[in-house]
Structure 1
Amino acid sequence: MASFKCDIVTPAEKLLTTEAEMVVVPGVEGEMGFLAGHAPLVSALADGEIRLTPAGGGAVQRFEVKGGYVQVTGDKVIILADSAQPVAA
C-alpha cells in the first residue's frame, strides 16, 4: 500500500514524524480516515484518539488528542493538536 508522511505537532513539541499507510482522526462531525492521495482538506479535530498504521505494517500507533486541526495534502497529513500524547498499548 502507498504511504505518506504524517506529523503530529503540539504547541510544546513535534510529537511524531513518520511514514504512514493510514491515519484515522476524530473530526468534529465524526471520524475521518486518510490514505495516500487523499483530496486536500483542512478540518477541526474533536477530543479523541488518533490511530496511525505505519508504512510497511506493524502495530497501530495510538495518540490521545485534545482539539486542534488536521491538514491533508496528497502526500502529507499534518495534525496540529492543542495537546496530544501516546496511548499505552
Structure 2
Amino acid sequence: MAEKTQRLEIVTPEKKVFSGDVRFVVVPGVEGELGFLPDHAPLVSALKNGKVRVQQEGRQLKFNVAGGFVEVRNSRVMVLADSAEPVE
C-alpha cells in the first residue's frame, strides 16, 4: 500500500518556492515547531523565522523561511512566507 501524502505549497509574494506531494512537514510556529501528517485537523498559525523540514519520497528537503503563516486544510499545507529559499 502506498504511503498517504499531502500537498505542500511554499509561496512568497514574489514566487512559488515549492509545490509537491509530501509525507510529513515541520514548520517553525511562533509558539514552537508544528508537524503535519496527511489528514491533519484544520489549523492556521503564524510562523517565525526558521526552517521548514519536509519528508518526500524517502528524501529530506529544507527551506529557510522568514515569517508568514501556515494554513492546513484537507490534506493540504500552505506556507505563505514573507521570504523562502531552499537550503542547499
The reply to whether TM is greater than 0.5 is yes
Matching residue's letter, 2:32? G
RMSD in angstroms over aligned alpha carbons?
0.7
Q: Corresponding residue for 1:62?
A: 62
Matching residue's letter, 2:9? D
Which of the residues 37, 40, 47 maps onto 1:38? 40
Matched, 1:73 2:73: yes
Separation in 2, partners of 1:39, 1:59: 25
Number of residue pairs aligned between Structure 1 and Structure 2: 86
Separation in 2, partners of 1:58, 1:10: 26
Matched, 1:47 2:49: yes
Q: Corresponding residue for 1:12?
A: 14
Matching residue's letter, 2:84? A
Segments of structure 1 that go 5 or more residues without pairing to the other structure are none
3-state secondary structure, aligned to 2:63:
strand
Q: In the TM superposition, what is the alpha-carbon distance from 1:77 to its structure 2 partner?
A: 0.3
TM-score normalised by structure 2 residue count: 0.94
Q: In the TM superposition, what is the alpha-carbon distance from 1:2 to its structure 2 partner?
A: 1.1
3-state secondary structure, aligned to 2:33:
strand
Q: Where in structure 1 do 4 or more consecutive aligned residues deviate above 3 Å?
A: none
Separation in 2, partners of 1:50, 1:79: 9
Identical counterparts, % of pairs: 49
Q: In the TM superposition, what is the alpha-carbon distance from 1:60 to its structure 2 partner?
A: 0.5
TM-score normalised by structure 1 residue count: 0.93
Q: In the TM superposition, what is the alpha-carbon distance from 1:74 to its structure 2 partner?
A: 2.6
Summarize deviations over 1:35-73 as a string: whole Å, max 9, x none: 00000000000100000111xx23200000000000001
Q: In the TM superposition, what is the alpha-carbon distance from 1:75 to its structure 2 partner?
A: 1.4
